[in-house]
Amino acid sequence: MAKRKCVGCGVELSGHNATGEHALPDWLAKEIYIPSASLKHYLHDEGSGADALVRSHSLGTFEIKKVCFACNTGWMSNLEVRVKPLLLGLMDGRVTLSNLSASENAVLSDWAVKTAFMIAAVQSKPLDLPWHRFQSLRSASGSHGCLVFAAHLPTLPNGFSYTCQPNELPGRTTPVQVRIGFYVRHLHFVVIIPIFDGPRVARISNGLHIPLCLPDGELIHSSAMMTPRSNKLDDFLNSLTMTVEAAIITGKSQTEQRPKDERK
């Protein structure tokens, strides 16, 4: 039986050093707390368009249990401390995404990547995530190689929700990247975690997201309109996440290289 290892540093976990890391920290969960609300995980069927409820639980139990005590109370905790005043300012409208300093942009990007990995790690269908990218958050900011985008949308209600979309290419049995969209209060983030290495080209819709981190990539602005399939919040957030696309630059035509769930 394989030994459990900490996703934050790779150290072997045992009873005395294993802890749980929340996808949303306690301080942030309290900021967006809604009485009697629960976090619901759905399995989407592309063929029928139906969503089947997999499980439901509170934000307080939305955590990954493969983190060592040193990482939990060390670099992960330090990242939350650094991002807290920035996130509160952004959620309250006292700070704007377009006026972030370079250091604020880096902290916010790193936090979004950390959160995206925590979300991707608790999916009912396990994903083979590139944990070396996550572990790079311990050192140089921005070295994770993930693409990060953010939008401030005052019309979004107080709360938290997410979507996790593995992107595949024909002929491959594993995803080439995972696209995670999540929102907290009025902030919506899209993080693309590369699994297959290579430079990427990203496309965003004008007037929505702005890039926070775009390593080794190109950016295309599109005038395409967002078209949710219904007026449900989950459908709106899924469509919002889908407005951010990313394709691997391989030298082939753009149609050939785009993940199949992003083709028109």
pLDDT bucket at 34, cuts 50 / 70 / 90:
low
**Does a structural domain hold residue 2?**
no
Query: Domain total for the chain?
Result: 1
Mention every residue, 6+ apart, whose C-beta is less than 8 A from residue 101: none
Instruction: Check residue 18 and give its pLDDT.
Output: 74
pLDDT bucket at 41, cuts 50 / 70 / 90:
very low
> pTM of this prediction?
0.82
**Does a structural domain hold residue 176?**
yes
The conformational region for residue 4 under phi > 0 = left, psi -120 to 50 = alpha, else beta, is beta
Residue 116 β-bridge partners: none
**Does a structural domain hold residue 10?**
no
- Mind listing the pLDDT tens digit for each residue in 144-161? 999 999 999 988 888 888
- Mind listing the pLDDT tens digit for each residue in 55-84? 444 444 456 778 888 998 899 999 999 999
Top pLDDT among 221 and 262 is at 221
Instruction: Check residue 194 and give its pLDDT.
Output: 95
Q: What is the span of the domain harbouring residue 34?
A: 18-262
Answer for the pair 111, 79: CB distance below 8 angstroms, yes or no.
yes
Answer for the pair 153, 186: CB distance below 8 angstroms, yes or no.
yes
